[in-house]
A and B are shown apart, each in its own frame.
Chain A
């Protein structure tokens, strides 16, 4: 009986046969947890103290709105994105331009440049932490050699925030490079040559020919980076643990702290929901724009 029914589904509606397993799994490990988080965000939910739990309506959200640390964390997270990604894009683009020519060894350089993208985020964070050690870190050592006085980079708010961003730029501009280079090689050389004959300068070529042609590639690459950057956690967590003070406590770290250090599960869930809404808004906006462009 059961087999017969299954067979019917398979024959009449093969779509379900193919798509149901994925939908069920995703529902269990993605949709349900999100709904669960949404539910819990209306509770005061202390992980340890069971007596303190209770439904509190929108209180968590009201408190978040009043929580200075939350705004600070959100600001840091967005700041991270809006500083790191443009710089990565610019570096990636110019290096792609630079390496979009043939000379001996250029292939090897192009491949090796991509390695940082694939370094484990945890390892990247830890390595930068080591390199910035004032006493025995390699970067500190080199900086002292060129006359920069020894300093505790990760103990000062500004330099720590900068260090976290530089770490990300180091790791991720090659990602931009990879995409932009793959776009560049598809631009017909004849277009550039024609511009050369017209006597166009370097910047003319960049702004009038290359950038417009690369626009779809830029959008894709930036979108992907954005998704990634909104999720950033581990690198910063291992590099600074959010410190000094709250100088590098990005929103994701602040949520983690509320949930797993202070055990305010309800409050943390509410912030998680807010972060999800922000991410999805940005993502849907960009995806839609992107996809529309594709169909046009």
Chain B
């Protein structure tokens, strides 16, 4: 028996035979895709992978529960970008990750889409390996902008050609025009969830302002420019006038449903959900969507980035095997297969591979969008800052308070959080 094992070890040269790693990841199409291929990785390396998928909202709690400076129940943990500051120090800097025995170590700057790696940067180090090209992609209905009848009418009324909206002003014009055709120009994200903070930051950045800036090593300052922020909020409110009924409470499921039923012209989406829009069984607009960077505000284009990184806890006892798994996940060879089952890669060579550009029209969109990617406030106490932004932004958008009051409350609230923690 032992002999057989020994022989087989030599035969298949599984360098990690006998090690088991526990991996904690968020739950969506991408990780389902990865899980479906783990067997192959296990056979190649001899590493047994315990792969736990949980809702992205619970990851941080679970992480706090199971990983500390001195103990780690997981060898590899996925962390969403805005929480990297809070937990970054628990993870081994990427520069210290071991080289892989089967899959080679990823070069963050050469191999990945420009912009992706920033999400995992904290305190002078990359804290892990970015794993997905997660950034706002802007969805626009090609069939609508190419409708000859619409084009003619729009030209007459607005004096320029109906096309993919390049600015918010254009988007507003088109939305106004389409409202006469029974199409909603825009679908916001207004559920009381992280998505609402993303929308706020997205608008602020497009209008040339941001919430927080780090000054010095351990201090932050609120830099939100009231005038610009109010303008941004007002524009969002204007756009919401052309949103579907029930827009005051739209989350992922409502937005997916509205867009897939062909009711909505244009909106942002996270790459992981895009396949739902291209699924012919669920969506009447499959094949009719153009993917690109979001429209620009007066200051610039901005796209919220939300890349996930894989981090190895300092206290993990299987660092080598964990790194090998992360390299496999990010490798071109595995990526090829993973893309087929629904993964959105962070590797440039995969994202721009001509083979997929046709099949997955949104890959180019992700690449373009990433060029404009911006991050949400980077601070240890992000959860609280995000709640302040979200709550007040939504109060402003839904008209419970005036835009001015909403922005004032954000500034005041974030300052209070900073004060509370002695920044």
Chain A residues within 8 Å of B, Cβ to Cβ? 47-50, 63, 134-135, 150, 152, 154-157, 240-246, 260-263
Contact A150 B246 (CB under 8 A): yes
B interface list, Cβ under 8 A from A:
61, 63-64, 68-69, 86-87, 89-90, 190-192, 245-246, 248-249, 254, 257, 380-381, 383-384, 391, 394-395, 398, 400, 420
Is the pair A152, B394 in contact by a Cβ cutoff of 8 Å? no
Q: Which residues of B contact A49 (CB under 8 A)?
A: 86, 89, 380
Inter-subunit contact B86/A245 (CB<8 Å)? no
Would you mind naming 20 contact pairs between A and B with Cβ atoms under 8 Å apart?
A47-B64, A48-B63, A48-B64, A48-B86, A48-B90, A49-B86, A63-B420, A135-B246, A152-B248, A155-B192, A155-B248, A155-B249, A156-B248, A157-B400, A242-B192, A244-B192, A244-B249, A244-B398, A245-B395, A261-B383
Contact B190 A155 (CB under 8 A): yes
Contact yes or no, A152 B61, CB < 8 A: no
Question: How far is it, in angstroms, between the C-alpha of A152 and the C-alpha of B400 when the chains are bound?
Answer: 14
Q: Residue on B with the closest CB to A49?
A: B380
Contacts of A242 in B (CB 8 A): 192
- With known contacts A50-B68, A261-B61, A262-B383, A150–B245 Cβ distance under 8 A: yes
Q: Which residues of B contact A243 (CB under 8 A)?
A: 192
Known contacts: A47-B64, A48-B86, A260-B61. The answer to whether A241 contacts B192 by CB under 8 A is yes
Of all chain A residues, the one with the shortest Cβ separation from B68 is A50
- In the assembled complex, the Cα of A241 lies from the Cα of B87 at a distance in Å of 24
| List of A residues within 8 angstroms of B87 by Cβ | 48
| Further pairs besides A49-B89, A152-B248, A156-B398: 7, Cβ < 8 Å | A48-B63, A49-B86, A150-B246, A155-B192, A157-B400, A244-B192, A262-B383
- List of A residues within 8 angstroms of B86 by Cβ: 48-49
Which residues in A have their C-beta under 8 angstroms from that of B394? Answer: 244-245
Q: A261 to chain B: closest CB distance in Å?
A: 5
- Which A residues lie within 8 Å of B249 (CB)? 134, 152, 154-155, 244
Report the nearest A residue to B390, measured CB to CB. A245
A272 to chain B, nearest CB (A): 17
Note all chain B residues with C-beta closer than 8 A to A47: 64
- How many angstroms between the C-alpha atoms of A135 and B69 in the bound complex? 47
Alpha-carbon gap, A240 to B190, bound state (A): 14
Residues of B within 8 A of A152 (CB): 246, 248-249
* B246 lies within 8 A of A134 (CB): yes
When distances are taken between beta carbons in the complex, the residues of chain A under 8 Å from B69 are 50
Sort A-B residue pairs by CB-CB distance and give the 3 closest, nearest first. A243-B192, A155-B249, A152-B249
- Within the complex, the shortest CB–CB distance from A40 to chain B, in Å, comes to 15
CB neighbours of B89 from chain A (8 A): 49
Least CB distance from A148 to B in Å reads: 14
Q: Which residues of A contact B400 (CB under 8 A)?
A: 157, 245
